[in-house]
Amino acid sequence: MHLPRKFLVTICLLCAPALALAHSATKIPIIVDTDMALDDIRAIVLLSQYEGVNLLAGITSDGACAPETGAVNLRRIVSRVGWGPVPVAAGRALEGDPPPWRPLAESMGWSDLGETLETTPLTTHRDGFELLSETLARQDNVIYICLGPLSNLADLLLRDPSLAERIAVVQYYGSPPDSPEPSWNTARDLESAKRVFAAGLRIRCLQLPDDQLLRYDKDLADAVCGLGGTASDLLCAIHSSDRVQALVTDGHFRCWDEAAVLDLLFPELFAWQPAASGAGLEWHFDLALGRQRYLDLLAGDLSMKHGHRHTVNLRAFPTEPEQLRADVAAIAEETLSRHGREEWNTILLTNELHRHLGIYSILGAKMGIRARELLAGGLDDLSVVSCAGSTPPLSCLTDGLQVATGATLGRGTISVHPQESRPGATFRNGEQAVDLQIKDDVIAQIRADIQKCIDEHGALTPAYWSAVRALALRYWLEMDRARIFKEVWLKDGR
């Protein structure tokens, strides 16, 4: 939660650099600790849309909501977003008066969500400590996301300090306890914050001034509601009361706790930049790109649903005509509309790696994306055996496979079958495996089209390569990855 006033920028890293989730081969184990304010709910819903996350448990603190009420509503959220049987428990109630906005936080929109949000009979625990201790006993390298006061984590460390080593990092929206103006989350239980910050944990926390945060205003709220789907519909319902709508219209809300989730999932959104005054550096949040990431997550964009492809040197993948060669710009809008952002980004990267628009490399990229869809795998989740041999042009398929799946020679997750030479590959994710191969009629079309290029322009002439580029662009636009491959599920993963 937050105080409705402007804070100084607070960034504390305490040996906790931004996490490179894009390179994780397995889902990231996470515990969420929340006081179930509106910004907490938005942050949790955002987190639920990133399939690289494995929510182990949820625990509620005494902040915007009372812990028991917050736990009931957290169970509703978990149930609605389809997170599975996630255990939820209420933490310790604090002494002292509740915040004045508690009646609003505990009543907003819940009654309008219908019977589907009746409390799900999830696993229950006697108290928050029991849930946290059981969860950490069976799982290490946990990311502990705290969106409210630090009471529950402090209680855990007091009763069983050894469990601290099971936590990889604490991701916290708030300030250190010794800040000149402690954040609301910190000030709500200052003694607990002191205990947590003195425990030797790796903590990554941030607290940004309101003018450096996204506004959850009418413009963003309307964009969210216009997306459709479970996540966006849930947020629309939670914000539907007259009082909340008035605050949205007045521009009261910022994406406070969402910033902690966005920092976790997309660390490239945050960077040190020269201060506007010219003296020193200041922490900068890329508001435009952050807004796009926010909406992409809620829209269920494939790049988020099946493992987001983080940029390394680029601020974003190009889509605007002025950023692209003319012939690529001509197909960009329709290609994005037909095949989605992840295929677009993947084929852009494939073409740069391959040094030209290759037909088989593009089809390899489409094949890799299709395999990820079938196997519900993110980037780096799949292991691949390419059957395309080592002789171009067929072997060019393997370049697209590597870019699309994240299975690379350097990671040791792709190999080339030593005997086979066919336009296909075998993909595995855990116990499941599928073999994909370009359909015979598609291969026949490609061969006929290439032969026509040779007949008209000669082999390997500049005019030939220009014609092949035009063919590749046509295939990129027109070939639907769900229709061009023979898909064979392998029994027992073989």
Domain ranges in the chain?
A: 10-301, 321-493
* Bridge partner list, 31: 57, 144
CB distance 128 to 90 below 8 Å: yes
Position 380 scores a pLDDT of 84
Residue 185 tokens read as: 């989350």
Given a cut of 80, whether residue 25 has pLDDT beyond it is no
Helix (H, G, I), strand (E, B) or coil at 386: strand
Q: Among 271-285, 353-367, 433-447, 452-466, which is the least confidently predicted range?
A: 271-285
Position 492 scores a pLDDT of 64
Contacts 24+ apart (CB under 8 A), 250-255: 251/215, 251/217, 252/4, 253/38, 253/39, 253/215, 253/216, 253/217, 254/2, 254/39, 254/210, 254/213, 254/214, 254/215, 254/216, 255/39, 255/42, 255/213, 255/214, 255/215, 255/216, 255/290, 255/294
Average pLDDT on 78-106 reads: 89
Give the pLDDT band (50/70/90) at residue 162.
very high
Average pLDDT on 41-56 reads: 91
Position 275 scores a pLDDT of 55
Given a cut of 70, whether residue 191 has pLDDT beyond it is yes
Strand locations in 293-439 (E): 383-386, 414-416, 424-429, 432-438
Phi-psi region at 171: left, alpha or beta (left = phi > 0; alpha = psi -120 to 50): beta
Model's pTM, two decimal places?
0.64
Average pLDDT on 137-153 reads: 96
Q: Cα dist. 470→17, 334, 367, 458 in Å?
A: 45, 16, 20, 16
Position 1 scores a pLDDT of 47
Given a cut of 90, whether residue 187 has pLDDT beyond it is yes
Residues 448-461: tens digit of each pLDDT: 999 999 999 998 89
Position 37 scores a pLDDT of 94
Position 107 scores a pLDDT of 81
Note the CATH architecture for domain 321-493.
Answer: 2-Layer Sandwich (3.30)
Q: Among 93-97, 112-116, 207-211, 322-326, which is the least confidently predicted range?
A: 112-116
More confident residue, 323 or 380: 323
Cα torsion through 360, 362, 368, 370, rounded to 10: -110
* CATH top-level class of 10-301: alpha beta
Given a cut of 90, whether residue 327 has pLDDT beyond it is yes
From the number of C-beta atoms within 10 Å of its C-beta (0-12, 13-18, 19+), residue 241 rates as middle
More confident residue, 39 or 309: 39
Position 381 scores a pLDDT of 87
Given a cut of 70, whether residue 244 has pLDDT beyond it is yes
Given a cut of 60, whether residue 463 has pLDDT beyond it is yes
Give the pLDDT band (50/70/90) at residue 333.
very high
Mean model confidence pLDDT for the chain: 87
Task: Give first-to-last CA distance, the chain, whole Å.
Answer: 51
Given a cut of 80, whether residue 358 has pLDDT beyond it is yes
Average pLDDT on 6-20 reads: 50
Residues 263-308: tens digit of each pLDDT: 998 887 887 666 555 555 556 788 998 999 999 889 876 455 545 5
Sign of CA dihedral 435, 436, 439, 443: negative
